[in-house]
Structures are given as structure tokens and as C-alpha cells.
Structure 1
Amino acid sequence: MTLTWKLVVDSADSPALAEFWAAALGYEVEDPTALIDTLLAAGRLPAAAVLERDGRKLFRGYSAVRHPEDPYDPASGVGRGRRILFQDVPEPKRGKNRLHIDVHSDGELTAVVERLEQLGATRVEEQEQGPAGHWWVMRDPEGNEFCVA
């Protein structure tokens, strides 16, 4: 038995959050334009369910990113590897995340943190745990916590 997975993150603006995380991780925003065009032409998707952004057609309320080296289905644009799906939900984020992303870099920590801030992240707290390491707790543009080490 083979298991696959994707991380799903609730969001208020899925395309904007996908663009942030694609830039932060060096991932690609998925482009489901070909699939959407097929569904629209067949009458299986109403035009109101589609959003256009940066030359791509997206399913309204959903946007995903994938690792650029992982395989994907060219007919749908859906990644078959390391993938994060952002889905819009009506309620705002409340409290601390129960699950978060740790971003690791072989670069200098301060430079990585500053680059993420330029993309829209904010610093929350610096952590120094002796042999366990040194990292920053940050928030993405929608307030989701993540760590950078």
C-alpha cells in the first residue's frame, strides 16, 4: 500500500497565501487552467466557481503549491509530491496552530528571516535552546505560525 499526502491550510485568501508560501519555499503555484477550461467547456463547472489571477484560472477558494522537482499531472496541474493546498474558510484564525511548518535553510538565519519578512511574514519570538538549536517563530501573512531555523 502506498500512501500520499498533502498539507491543507485554512485561509482567508488562498491565492495570496499560496503565492507567499511558493516564494518562501521556492515552490510553484499550481496552475489548474487546463482542467478548468475543460470543465467550463463541458458545462461541468459554473463560471462563478473560477477566479483569474496572474494569467491562471483557479478554483475559487482554493490554491495550491508544489515542489518544482516533483511530478505533477499536466492535465490538472495537481502535484503528486510535496504539496500544500490552501482552502478558504469563513471563520478567522483563532489561537495557536496545532500543526506548523518548520523552514530549514543552509543559509544565514538572519538573512532568511529578513527575506521572509520582505515577502510578508512577521517575527514573533527568537528561540535559543542550547544544543537543540536557534530559530525564529514567525507568522505568515494570515497569522499562521511557522519556525525558521
Structure 2
Amino acid sequence: MALNWKLVIDTADAPVLADFWAAALGYEVEDPSALIEQLLSAGHLPAEAVLEHRGSKTFRGYAAIRHPDDPYDPTSGVGQGRRLLFQDVPEAKSGKNRLHIDVHSEPGGLDELVGRLEGLGATRVREFDKGPAGHWWVMQDPEGNEFCVA
């Protein structure tokens, strides 16, 4: 039986990095504000555990994005399919990622995609051109996490 999963990414500012990746991938930022309101009004969540980001309440230190075509729970906003969860951690990133995301362009659209990602805050690190084996860029998101664009 196949298992459900999500990729969890350590961050310094979860909502900001979630915004970057949602724009980069065409995903939707999850909106847990209805759940947060329920938890606050029932006294199950302290106010200091919540922050406002882009006009919505979210859990302090956490943000998630989901594929727009996948199902989600309308009360919690939590996606039930392809999903990235960003969580703030106290330590800074150190060293190369041991796991990374590959983002694929439309045929012939590599340069356009790389330019769009730069416009969102990504930076180019290194270009690879292996002829028939492929052409891609290693890039970094705004917090320095490496990913590939092919």
C-alpha cells in the first residue's frame, strides 16, 4: 500500500518561503485561519502561537503549500496530496542540501523559467549542459536551499 507524505523544509521565515515556493510551483498557500479561529475561541491555542501574514491568520513558525488540483480539508486548509510544509528552526542552514526539488520547465522554456524564478527571489548557482543527457541550472531559493531547474 502506498503511503501519503509531505516534504518538510526547515526555514528561518516559513510564511515568506511558502510564498516563494507557491509562486515558483503554481501551488496554493494553505489557509488555516478557520481552524485557528476555532482553536482560539475554544481556548485551545494561545494568541502568541498565531501571526498574521498577508491578511490571514497562520500558525507562528509554520506554513504549507499544496497543489491546486489536490483535495484538501476545508476546515483546516491542509492539503491531502502533493504538499510542502515549511517550519521555522533556530539554527541557520549549513552545508549543501541532502535532498532537493527539481523543477521542470516546458520544452524550450528553461531560460524563461530561470528568469521568472530569479524575479521571485531565487539565485543562479551553476549551469550544467550535458548535451543529450540534459541542460539544467542549480539555483537557490531566498533562504539558500538548493534546487534544480531543467
Match of 1:71 in 2: 71
More displaced stretch, 81-90 vs 105-114: 105-114
In the TM superposition, residue 2 of structure 1 has moved relative to its aligned partner by 4.3
In the TM superposition, residue 105 of structure 1 has moved relative to its aligned partner by 1.4
Match of 1:119 in 2: 120
SS of alignment partner, residue 43 of structure 1 = coil
In 2, the alpha carbon distance for the partners of 1:2 and 1:75 equals: 26
SS of alignment partner, residue 20 of structure 2 = helix
Can you list the C-alpha shifts for 1:80-110, whole angstroms capped at 9, x where unaligned?
Answer: 0000000000000000000000000115111
CA RMSD between the two structures:
0.8
How do residues 3-42 of structure 1 correspond to structure 2 at under 5 angstroms? 3-42=3-42
SS of alignment partner, residue 119 of structure 2 = helix
Instruction: Provide the identity percentage.
Output: 74
In 2, the alpha carbon distance for the partners of 1:89 and 1:132 equals: 37
- 1:113 aligned partner, one-letter code: V
- 1:101 aligned partner, one-letter code: I
- 2:60 aligned partner, one-letter code: R
Query: TM-score normalised to the size of structure 2?
Result: 0.97
In 2, the alpha carbon distance for the partners of 1:82 and 1:42 equals: 31
In 2, the alpha carbon distance for the partners of 1:2 and 1:148 equals: 28
How do residues 1-149 of structure 1 correspond to structure 2 at under 5 angstroms? 1-106=1-106, 108-149=109-150
Query: TM-score normalised to the size of structure 1?
Result: 0.98
Q: Which runs of 5+ in 2 are unaligned?
A: none
- 1:114 aligned partner, one-letter code: G
SS of alignment partner, residue 10 of structure 2 = strand
Can you list the C-alpha shifts for 1:110-132, whole angstroms capped at 9, x where unaligned?
Answer: 11000000000000000012222
